[in-house]
């Protein structure tokens, strides 16, 4: 339990004094004015140490105890306390505060002022009755009533009741039965205690009552690890509560899997923010509010690729990491920064979605109304929390690195990823080739060819002569009619690019040289000029075909402006069909679209293919394709990692929400040593010295996309966004970028990535180990030379110790 600190009355005077002292220090030259300034794209130094005292558990009963953790329960508030024996730190699944009515009753029963003081607890200022129930609860439901979203908790003051029972024959398994009588809904939460873990299972088949028609989501332990708060404290001298003051804000952060990974540090915000909503695996277009959407030129949001998040308190003191093993396809990771919804806490939690509101269109004019789905999403929830402590002496350290390593261990244990043993001395490089696309012509369309089979051969040979040998490549737009109009599984060639035999000869020739070349294809995006929608396109829950308006980002005279999404079963069929043909002569196969987009589909009778079923269809197709070939997957979701050999276009950074304070390589730490990881195409402004350092810091290999001819020839095609691809312009840059990155990362090939530390702003130390040997890679993003543990690192450079 963390201690409370009062704000001093002279806060403004202190700030003024600090400002004056800072100005004098700068003028005197005691502080560098050219110091590195952190942004949300960097990782900042670790938080301050948290101050905490032993938490009171007088009203708790022990449920289970291991050598590491003691688990207790407070029945009247549905709160589990987790006492970590390694540090004495106590976590609580709720903030453990009373309702106002409970406070009044406790005080009224007291006879003396001493008894009143003992009976009183801090009175929450920014939480109403509903939010106190949420803040204490083990499970909260979200439901829709008269087009209004409402909340009801297992610890609500009224309208719900719960009972915790031990599972017969088990020491570490319990069941919490919750009756949300307000809407007539019952559910059970199975709780399993491990050495340092808690797993919550919510089986769908045990949900019952008419209220299931109103249920939209289930939230688990929403205030576990929350920081901040504002409360009124009882004053024995006046016999009443005094003015509200801030509670002690725990230093720390919430980790979310936004892009490569983001930290949202606890802060006293001056403005309210919208919540962070991480829709794991991306939003399902079939259950969005409308059947149509528009692509804009705004910075795209990066959808979480992993069903994981975590919270850290202090500096290497206490943390937890939580992941979903079931229900991930319906999971949102929510973070409410302090001041959001006028709540003075920063809090994060998993939200599992069972139903959603959509616009039901009933005529061609677009008339309609908003309604809930007739049937809820049917899936089971399984969410595990693992508690970390200290600086790594007793397990994984209590920070985002420890979270990543713990999650990595779980994925290895469950067979989702596997450590590789055959690692080359030099890092690889990805060189993709855009071969063609189509544009409008006087009659119909014509295919614009910018790279031929012979061009690919010449470029790869020249790259090898310039010192790049560990190369793999993907061919984009290789089909007749290109990617825009060719059916995904079509195995037809255009003689101006190369015949079927020419492609086969190219691929086999370079396979003998150790360079694998693969066909690349998007198996999800379709359009009406490519094929009929009747048997191929996914439908929205309102039964209209899904539609995406791309006119904002495409040239006016591009051959298409609107796209749709393929049926999941068609996507799976096309992957299997084309991969079988490629398997005759290619060592690998590249999948785009289907690796990162998950779509359900509906008809008038309801769901035809759910997200759970779509995930299995795509997974099975990839499993079959990977039996004889390496799979190159573009930004793949976690459920495909077990079939993946190369991770293409790995995110390096976040969606850049203003409340995201740090970017971290969580994704790269999780996957390190299990697959080859490539960054975004360096052609497109990812080749500066800082970007090269980012590749070294995040341990990713460079990638480029080339065309032999100038890219302006594609200006009237869907590939117009590939605006800078001409090989002659990037030949020397590709070699330079690769050699700079390889010079450092080749030193730690085959090593385990065990730690990452910010030594000071702009200076990172990455620790790698192998067979008892330790190497440290120092990355200096600043424009000043620094010395790290005796190693001199020049400005804007990296070094290995």
What distances in angstroms separate CA 291 from CA 170, 287, 296, 597, 602, one per listed residue?
Answer: 48, 8, 17, 16, 11
Task: Report the pLDDT value the prediction gives residue 119, as an integer from 0 to 100.
Answer: 67
Rounded to an integer, the average pLDDT of 130-159 is: 94
Rounded to an integer, the average pLDDT of 189-214 is: 97
Residues 6+ apart with CB under 8 A from 168: none
Q: Is residue 798 very low, low, confident or very high in pLDDT (cuts 50, 70, 90)?
A: very high
Q: Can you name the residues that pair with 526 across neighbouring β-strands?
A: 564
Handedness of CA 493, 494, 500, 504 (dihedral sign): negative
Here the tokens at position 596 are 């990162």
What is the tens place of the pLDDT at every residue in 85-101?
A: 999 999 999 999 989 88
Residues 6+ apart with CB under 8 A from 501: none
Rounded to an integer, the average pLDDT of 330-338 is: 97
Does residue 5 carry a pLDDT above 80?
no
Task: Report the pLDDT value the prediction gives residue 54, as an integer from 0 to 100.
Answer: 67
Task: Report the pLDDT value the prediction gives residue 302, as an integer from 0 to 100.
Answer: 95
Q: Is residue 16 very low, low, confident or very high in pLDDT (cuts 50, 70, 90)?
A: very low
Does residue 196 carry a pLDDT above 50?
yes
d(C-alpha 442, C-alpha 457), whole Å: 33
Q: Of 338-342, 437-441, 708-712, which range is least confident?
A: 338-342
Rounded to an integer, the average pLDDT of 256-271 is: 96
Higher pLDDT, 109 or 174: 174
Residues 6+ apart with CB under 8 A from 394: 86
Task: Report the pLDDT value the prediction gives residue 102, as an integer from 0 to 100.
Answer: 82
Helices (H), 84-171: 100-109, 113-119, 129-136
Burial 401-431 (b: 16+ CB within 10 A, else e): bbbbbbbbebbeeeebbeeeeeeeebbbbbb
Q: What is the 3 state secondary structure string of 281-337?
A: CCCCHHHCCCCEEECCCCCCCCCCCCCEEEEEECCCCEEEEEEEEECHHHEEEEEEC
Q: Of 42-56, 154-168, 350-364, which range is least confident?
A: 42-56
Task: Report the pLDDT value the prediction gives residue 469, as an integer from 0 to 100.
Answer: 85
Task: Report the pLDDT value the prediction gives residue 392, as an integer from 0 to 100.
Answer: 86
Does residue 681 carry a pLDDT above 90?
yes
Q: With pLDDT > 70 as the criterion, what percentage of the chain qualifies?
A: 95
Does residue 209 carry a pLDDT above 70?
yes
Here the tokens at position 283 are 């939003």
Residue 380: which region, alpha, beta or left (left: phi > 0; alpha: psi -120 to 50)? beta
Helix-helix angle 727-745:689-698, to 10 degrees: 40
Rounded to an integer, the average pLDDT of 196-224 is: 97
Does residue 238 carry a pLDDT above 70?
yes
d(C-alpha 178, C-alpha 386), whole Å: 24
Q: 754, 405 in Cβ contact below 8 A?
A: yes
Task: Report the pLDDT value the prediction gives residue 106, as an integer from 0 to 100.
Answer: 74
**Mean pLDDT for all residues in the chain:** 93
Rounded to an integer, the average pLDDT of 683-704 is: 95
Q: What does the angle CA 703 – CA 704 – CA 705 come to, to the nearest 5 degrees?
A: 135
Task: Report the pLDDT value the prediction gives residue 661, as an integer from 0 to 100.
Answer: 97
Does residue 686 carry a pLDDT above 80?
yes
Does residue 653 carry a pLDDT above 70?
yes
Q: 748, 768 in Cβ contact below 8 A?
A: yes
Q: With pLDDT > 90 as the criterion, what percentage of the chain qualifies?
A: 85
Task: Report the pLDDT value the prediction gives residue 23, as an integer from 0 to 100.
Answer: 43
Task: Report the pLDDT value the prediction gives residue 667, as an integer from 0 to 100.
Answer: 98
Task: Report the pLDDT value the prediction gives residue 476, as an integer from 0 to 100.
Answer: 98
Does residue 33 carry a pLDDT above 60?
no
Does residue 780 carry a pLDDT above 80?
yes
CB atoms closer than 10 angstroms to residue 300:
9
Q: Are strands 588-592 and 525-526 parallel, antiparallel or unpaired?
A: unpaired
Taken as a whole, the chain contains a residue count of: 801
What is the tens place of the pLDDT at every residue in 420-471?
A: 988 899 999 999 999 999 999 988 999 999 999 999 999 999 999 999 989 9
Q: Of 10-14, 105-109, 116-120, which range is least confident?
A: 10-14
By 3-state DSSP, what share of the chain in percent is helix, strand and coil, each rounded to 5?
Answer: 25, 30, 45
Task: Report the pLDDT value the prediction gives residue 393, as an integer from 0 to 100.
Answer: 87
d(C-alpha 520, C-alpha 506), whole Å: 15
Rounded to an integer, the average pLDDT of 501-506 is: 98
What is the tens place of the pLDDT at every residue in 575-631?
A: 999 999 999 999 999 999 999 999 999 999 999 999 999 999 999 999 999 999 999
CB atoms closer than 10 angstroms to residue 200:
23
Helix-helix angle 500-512:453-465, to 10 degrees: 20
Rounded to an integer, the average pLDDT of 552-576 is: 97
What is the tens place of the pLDDT at every residue in 347-392?
A: 999 999 999 999 999 888 889 999 999 999 999 999 999 999 999 8
Task: Report the pLDDT value the prediction gives residue 343, as an integer from 0 to 100.
Answer: 93
Residues 6+ apart with CB under 8 A from 23: none
Q: 558, 582 in Cβ contact below 8 A?
A: no
Q: Is residue 728 very low, low, confident or very high in pLDDT (cuts 50, 70, 90)?
A: very high
Q: Is residue 785 very low, low, confident or very high in pLDDT (cuts 50, 70, 90)?
A: very high
Does residue 218 carry a pLDDT above 70?
yes
């Amino acid at each position: 339990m963390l201690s409370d600190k009062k704000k001093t009355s002279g806060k403004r005077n202190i700030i003024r004094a600090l400002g004056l002292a800072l100005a004098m220090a700068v003028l005197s030259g005691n502080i560098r004015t050219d110091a590195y300034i952190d942004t949300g794209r960097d990782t900042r130094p670790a938080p301050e140490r948290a101050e905490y005292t032993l938490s009171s558990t007088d009203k708790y009963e022990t449920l289970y105890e291991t050598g590491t953790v003691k688990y207790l329960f407070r029945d009247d508030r549905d709160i589990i306390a987790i006492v970590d024996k390694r540090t004495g730190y106590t976590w609580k699944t709720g903030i453990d505060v009373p309702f106002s009515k409970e406070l009044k009753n406790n005080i009224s029963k007291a006879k003396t002022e001493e008894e009143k003081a003992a009976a009183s607890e801090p009175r929450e200022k920014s939480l109403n009755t509903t939010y106190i129930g949420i803040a204490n609860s083990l499970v909260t439901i979200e439901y829709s009533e008269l087009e209004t979203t409402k909340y009801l908790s297992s610890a609500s003051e009224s309208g719900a009741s719960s009972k915790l029972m031990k599972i017969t024959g088990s020491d570490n398994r319990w069941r919490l039965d919750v009756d949300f009588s307000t809407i007539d809904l019952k559910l059970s939460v199975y709780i399993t205690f491990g050495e340092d873990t808690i797993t919550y299972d919510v089986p769908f088949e045990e949900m019952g009552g008419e209220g299931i028609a109103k249920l939209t989501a289930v939230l688990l332990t929403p205030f576990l690890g929350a920081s901040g708060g504002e409360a009124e404290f009882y004053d024995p001298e006046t016999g009443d509560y005094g003015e509200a003051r801030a509670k002690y804000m725990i230093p720390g952060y919430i980790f979310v899997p936004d892009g490569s990974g983001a930290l949202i540090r606890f802060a006293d915000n001056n403005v309210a923010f919208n919540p962070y909503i991480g829709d794991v695996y991306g939003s399902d277009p079939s259950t969005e509010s409308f059947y149509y959407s528009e692509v804009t030129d705004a910075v795209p949001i990066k959808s979480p690729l992993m069903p994981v998040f975590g919270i850290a308190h202090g500096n290497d003191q206490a943390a937890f990491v939580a992941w979903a093993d079931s229900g991930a396809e319906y999971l949102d990771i929510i973070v409410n920064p302090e001041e959001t919804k006028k709540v003075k806490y920063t809090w994060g939690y998993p939200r599992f979605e069972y139903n959603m509101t959509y616009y039901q269109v009933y005529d061609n004019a677009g008339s309609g109304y908003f309604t809930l789905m007739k049937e809820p999403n049917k899936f089971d929830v399984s969410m595990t929390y693992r508690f970390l402590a200290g600086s790594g002496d007793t397990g994984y350290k209590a920070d985002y690195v420890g979270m990543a390593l713990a999650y990595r261990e779980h994925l290895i244990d469950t067979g989702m990823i596997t450590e590789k043993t055959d690692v080359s001395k030099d890092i690889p490089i990805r060189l993709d080739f855009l071969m063609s696309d189509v544009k409008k012509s006087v009659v119909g369309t014509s295919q614009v060819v910018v790279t031929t089979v012979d061009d690919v051969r010449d470029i790869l040979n020249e790259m090898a002569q310039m010192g790049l040998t560990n190369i793999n490549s993907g061919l984009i737009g290789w089909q007749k009619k290109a990617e825009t109009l060719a059916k995904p599984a079509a195995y037809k060639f255009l003689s101006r690019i190369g015949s079927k035999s020419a492609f086969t000869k190219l691929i086999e020739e370079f396979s003998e040289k150790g360079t694998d070349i693969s066909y690349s294809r998007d198996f999800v995006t379709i359009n009406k000029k490519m094929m009929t929608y009747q048997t191929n396109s996914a439908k929205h829950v309102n039964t209209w075909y899904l539609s995406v308006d791309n006119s904002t980002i495409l040239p006016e005279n591009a051959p298409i402006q609107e796209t749709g999404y393929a049926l999941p079963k068609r996507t799976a069929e096309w992957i299997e069909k084309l991969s079988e043909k490629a398997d005759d002569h290619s060592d690998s196969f590249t999948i785009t679209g289907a690796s990162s987009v998950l779509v359900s589909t509906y008809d008038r009778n309801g769901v035809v293919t759910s997200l759970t079923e779509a995930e299995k269809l795509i997974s099975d197709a990839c499993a079959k394709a990977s039996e004889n070939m390496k799979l190159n997957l573009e930004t793949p979701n976690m459920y495909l990692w077990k079939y993946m050999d190369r991770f293409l276009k790995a995110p390096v950074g976040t969606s850049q929400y203003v409340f995201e304070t740090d970017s971290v390589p969580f994704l790269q730490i999780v996957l390190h040593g299990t697959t080859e990881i490539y960054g975004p195409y360096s052609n497109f402004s990812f080749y500066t010295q800082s970007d090269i350092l980012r590749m070294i810091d995040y341990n990713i290999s460079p990638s480029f996309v080339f065309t032999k001819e100038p890219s302006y020839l594609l200006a009237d095609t869907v590939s117009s966004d590939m605006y800078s691809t001409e090989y002659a312009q990037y030949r020397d840059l590709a070699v330079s970028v690769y050699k700079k990155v390889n010079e450092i990362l080749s030193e730690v090939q085959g090593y385990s990535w065990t730690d990452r530390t910010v030594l000071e702003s702009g200076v990172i130390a990455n620790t790698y180990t192998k067979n008892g040997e330790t190497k440290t890679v120092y990355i200096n993003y600043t424009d000043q030379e620094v010395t790290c543990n005796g190693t001199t690192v020049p400005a804007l450079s990296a070094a290995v110790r």
